[in-house]
Structure 1
Amino acid sequence: MKNENESFIQLHEYAKEGKVHYLYFQVAKGRQLFYRKEKKLMLLTERFHFYRRYNIKGIKSVVFYQPPAQPTFYHELINLVVSECVYVRLLYTKLDFLRLANIFGDQCAQKIIASQKAVHVIVSR
């Protein structure tokens, strides 16, 4: 994305030794830039969310490249979306059955994995 000059920030838990204060500064700055829409995309690692649990403002959509290992993360991140029409995409493979089952339940996960459809829509209220 850097090569394409995309406007994005990264929130991750990695900091060099002695640079922890720098990490906190970068996180605060990144969250502010995202909220003010100066950055269009935020890449957030599951591990960062596990350790930090920041309330991130300004989220309009969420894309998971894999179902989260902690099923509560799925719901936590979706609940941060401010838009009335929540846009969530979850990419998965058949190997993600256990993670899907932890999020949606065994029956729903079995139907998703067994289906020949390329796209599934899950509506919750």
Structure 2
Amino acid sequence: MQVCKYIVLLCLFFSVTSLAQGSKLELTDPNKPILVSSVARQFTISLNSNPTTGYSWRLKTYDSHIVTPLSQTFKAPASNKPGAGGIETFVFELKEHAFKVKRVTQITFIYVRPWNLDIAKTLSFNVISV
């Protein structure tokens, strides 16, 4: 009976720690390729963002024949500091036929204000189907 309690406590501990790790968003490094397999076709790109300045990330270019944009979300910072930035996360999926032959495609974002055509920053990511 005592062993069962310890097993339950261990399971609970590992569940909580995995949830805590899963909630931490890591920024996507544009210098590293994003590898996507046919088993897990969805992938995310997370970028620093600060909409209080008027800037936000916009999807500029991608190959619509093999990439499908699924969603875009903003996660506010944990701090309550005025003007603190957060993280914008984009979720994509590679279409099934993208895996028939290994492919490299590029997704490009621009950091802009909607009312201003001046681009503050451009980031491109290489996505590889494996």
* Common fold: TM-score over 0.5: no
Highest relative contact order (Cα 8 Å, sep 6+), 1 or 2?
A: 2
What TM-score does the superposition give when structure 2 sets the normalisation length?
Answer: 0.27
Larger Rg: 1 or 2?
2
What TM-score does the superposition give when structure 1 sets the normalisation length?
Answer: 0.28
Larger relative strand fraction: 2
